[in-house]
A = this chain, B = another copy of it.
Amino acid sequence: MNITLEQAEKIIDTAKEKAISINTKMNIAVVDSGANLIAFVRMDQAWLGSTDISIKKAKTAIFFGMKTGSIGELSQPGGPLFNIEHSNGGLISFPGGIPIKDESGKIVGAIGVSGSSVENDHEVAAAGVAALSVFA
């Protein structure tokens, strides 16, 4: 039901390659289906503040089984989940966190990426998620 460390490392390596290819310096975290950290890397000169954000993005994606950006659409002022970020020791609800699914569509983990624009963060996270297919 969980991704393995070997899979997490493959996901992170692929995400790191993507980060390099788009000239960014990222923090990249992978958590299991229980929201517990499996693996993490901070690329040289990446923002220090993005370590916590990348881990919180991965956890947020697992907590609700959806992309972090989807939470953010609901947590705006006037929205149904306004300020949900106060829960769970702090959520991050902008893009960069994505659930990871196995072949059957079951969520087995999540990736969180932080270090650049949210568009870049999401692109690097998506590249990491795509890497899991090599195990399928």
Which residues of A pack against B, CB within 8 Å?
1, 4-5, 8-9, 32-44, 47-53, 56, 59-60, 62-65, 72, 75-78, 80-95, 117-118
Contact = CB atoms under 8 A, between A and B. Distances in A.
Contacts of A37: 40, 42, 51
B72 A82 contact: yes
B32 A38 contact: no
B86 A90 contact: yes
A104 B59 CA distance: 30
B38 A35 contact: no
Nearest to A92: B87
Contacts of A1: 1
